[in-house]
Amino acid sequence: MLKTLLKGGIAAAALWAAAPGAMAQELVIGLRAGPDSIDPHWSTLGSQAEALRHVFDTLVGVDENLQLIPGLATGWEPIDEDTWEFKIREGVQFHNGETLTAHDVKFSIERIPAVTGPMSMTIYTKRVKDVEVIDDNTLHVHTNGTAPSLPNDFIRLFVVPASTGMEAGNEEFNSGEKAIGTGPYEYVSWEPKGDLKLERFDGYWGETPHWQTVIRREIADDAARVAALQSGQVDLINYVPASDYLTMQGNPDLDTFVSDSVYILNIAPSVKDEEPQPITIDGKEVEGNPLQDLRVRKALDLAIDRNTLVRVVLEGLGTPANQLMPEGFFGYSDKLGERQYDLEQAKALMAEAGYPDGFEIDFTCTNNRVPGDAVVCEALAQMWSKLGLKVNAQALNGTVFFPAAAREEYTMTMSAWGTLTGEASYTYGSLTHSKDDELGLGAFNRTGYANAEFDTLFDEGQMTLDEAKRRDLFEQASFIAMEDRALIPTVILQTVWAAEADTLSFTPRTDQETLAYKISPAE
């Protein structure tokens, strides 16, 4: 009965929304992607976390620049080499009236391995050995060895009540039966690729959000999303395509919001003894792998005109990158200067390395994985052709690209990487550390890059609890990998939101999340 009433109410609300401004209590957001499930422990997908953050809270919170802030835990500290203590917030209520305790957190951590899917959430709990409840508001997490970045791992640790039970799965969550969290909104309904409907939770422990009802509508097609905003069907959209950004800026009826993202487009040159796709001169395979020569990698780097990439190719929606993370992230090296564009020097380096007339090389990128990847790919091919290279650029769908990249079939690739935890071990440990299956390092190192000096510094950082010392070690490690051109960063992508002019007040976030409870009507 209640459900039918609710449904009717929402339908009526949807009709109201058609008349602009009539319903200030409802917010309709048009999003490029939505969740895959309502079970918060099913998938690490970004759009999943973003949606479920409305219903469930995480143990550790992050601000709009991905720096840690208190969440359901009010504080945390290491109490010995392999134990972290978390203080659990008091007086927090679940949507079903239960009160949050450390038992719920323990249950949530232990539930993950049992229910998680192919985008496995165990990446956040892999350092956890076991969890010990000290009292209702104190939790000890014992780790496998020293785990200084454990709090960063917990920024997507959603907490569900222990009464959920281990047997509850996807079905119970999608139906709403078990979709019970401590978040600012209660779950109303959702279907795959459809609308996620939310209703304000009045017992929320934090700041009360403005909107009574929120509809998060998945509109995957870029042009369709823009049209939905222009026709007033939605109040706000994310991922405005670069091609529309300039036009929107000139449109007095629309407001745009721009933010740096955590995503950087990186070039990955294979430095193995035998490159996977042959590099040729006049059709004849070159002796050895030219990309092993640092001078060649430097020449490739120097031939990239990052300002043109940003200004023309991305229509202003980017920032030149000089390392794998944006400034301010934990382990960002200040010593790396801005990357230079110097075609003459690049040509000289190529000549010095023994390739005065360049060579022919395959270059493979993702297509439409992040905004701008295909156009940047094309632009790089064009820039390198000025260096005398013949570049066979292909922008492939992720479906083809990722499995082949995992099989290490490409000589040189470009794809996006986002430092989602806001610190260096996540990125450098995966991309530039030498491959070590035992330690789980270098899992996405497809270039064969290995530098003992880098590894030593990084490994030491991984073991150091002292924050200042760890930061210094990571900074040194990043510096080495970047000077080596292990990967060549190109641009930090920016993303755009748009809303009807003067309707919403909204602070964009680096992690791209569009959170209804952080949005309020314009003053």
Partner 1 sequence: MSDTTLSEGGPVPVPSAPPAETRATRLRHFWDDYRRAPMAVAALGLVVLMLLLSFGAPLVAPQDPYDMAALDYADAFLRPGETGSGGYVHLLGTDNAGRDMLSAILYGLKTSFVIGLSAGALALALGISVGLTAAYFGSRVEALLMRVVDLQLSMPAILLALVLVAVLGQGVAQIVLALVVAQYAYFARTTHGAATAERRKDYIEAARSTPLPTHRVLLRHLLPNVMPPLIVVATVQVASAIALEATLSFLGVGLPLTEPSLGSLISNGFKYIHTDRTWLSIYPGVALMVTVVAINLVGDQVRTVLDPRNSR
Partner 2 sequence: MTGFLLQRLMQAAAVIVAMSVIVFTGVFAIGNPIDVLIDPGADQAIRAKLIAQYGLDQPLWRQYFAFVGNVVRGDLGTSMVYNVPVVDLVFSRLPATLELVLVSVTIAAGIGIPAGIWAGYHPGSLSARAIMALSVLGFSVPTFWIGMLLIMTFAVQLGWLPSGGRGDLGQLLWFETSLATADGWSHVIMPAINLSLFKMGLMIRLSRAGMVEAMRTDYVRFARAQGLPDHQIVTRHVLRNISIPLVTVFGLELGSTLAFAVVTESVFNWPGVGKLIIDSILQLDRPVMVSYLVMVVVLFVLINLVVDLIYARLDPRVRLKGGA
Q: How many residues does the chain have?
A: 523
Among partner 1, partner 2, none, residue 294 binds (CB under 5-8 Å by kind)? none
Q: How far is the CB of 45 from partner 2 (least distance, A)?
A: 8
Determine if 288 is a binding residue for partner 1 (CB under 8 A): no
Question: d(Cα 280, Cα 367) in Å, to the nearest integer?
Answer: 25
Q: How far is the CB of 508 from partner 2 (least distance, A)?
A: 23
- End-to-end, the C-alpha distance of the chain in Å comes to 38
Determine if 356 is a binding residue for partner 1 (CB under 8 A): no
**Number of other CB atoms surrounding residue 274 within 10 Å:** 9
Please name which of 486, 511, 339 lies closest in space to residue 418, comparing C-alpha atoms.
Answer: 511
- Residue partners of 146: CB distance under 8 A and separation at least 6: 81, 82, 462, 463, 464, 465
25 is written with which tokens?
């209590």
Binding mask 232-261 for partner 1 (x = CB under 8 A): ---------x-xx-xx--------------
| Residue 448, CA distances (Å) to 134, 291, 353, 363, 406 in order | 45, 11, 21, 17, 12
Cα angle 309, 311, 315 (rounded to 5 degrees) comes to: 100
Q: Residues 321, 441, 480, 515: which binds partner 2 (CB under 8 A)?
A: 441
Question: d(Cα 32, Cα 238) in Å, to the nearest integer?
Answer: 7
Residue with Cβ nearer partner 1 (187 or 384) = 384
Please name which of 449, 126, 445, 414 lies closest in space to residue 289, comparing C-alpha atoms.
Answer: 449
Residue with Cβ nearer partner 1 (291 or 396) = 396
Residue with Cβ nearer partner 1 (146 or 382) = 382
Residue with Cβ nearer partner 2 (59 or 92) = 59
Q: Exposed, middle or buried, 361 (CB in 10 Å: 0-12/13-18/19+)?
A: buried
Among partner 1, partner 2, none, residue 313 binds (CB under 5-8 Å by kind)? partner 1
Q: Which residues of 369-380 are buried (b: 16+ CB within 10 A; e: fewer)?
A: bbbbbbbbbebb
Q: Residues 45, 227, 336, 443: which binds partner 1 (CB under 8 A)?
A: 227
Q: How far is the CB of 251 from partner 2 (least distance, A)?
A: 12
Question: d(Cα 112, Cα 403) in Å, to the nearest integer?
Answer: 26
Window 99 to 128, contacts with partner 2 (CB under 8 A): 117-120, 122-124, 126
Q: How far is the CB of 407 from partner 2 (least distance, A)?
A: 7
Among partner 1, partner 2, none, residue 395 binds (CB under 5-8 Å by kind)? partner 1
Binding mask 379-398 for partner 1 (x = CB under 8 A): x-xx--xx----xxxxxxxx
Which residues here bind partner 2, judged by CB under 8 A? 11, 15, 18, 36-37, 39, 42, 44-45, 117-120, 122-124, 126, 169-171, 174, 191-194, 217-221, 223-224, 227-228, 230-233, 397-400, 402-407, 417-418, 420-421, 426, 430, 437, 440-441, 443-444
Which residues here bind partner 1, judged by CB under 8 A? 222-223, 226-227, 230, 241, 243-244, 246-247, 305, 308, 312-313, 366-368, 374-375, 377-379, 381-382, 385-386, 391-400, 403-404
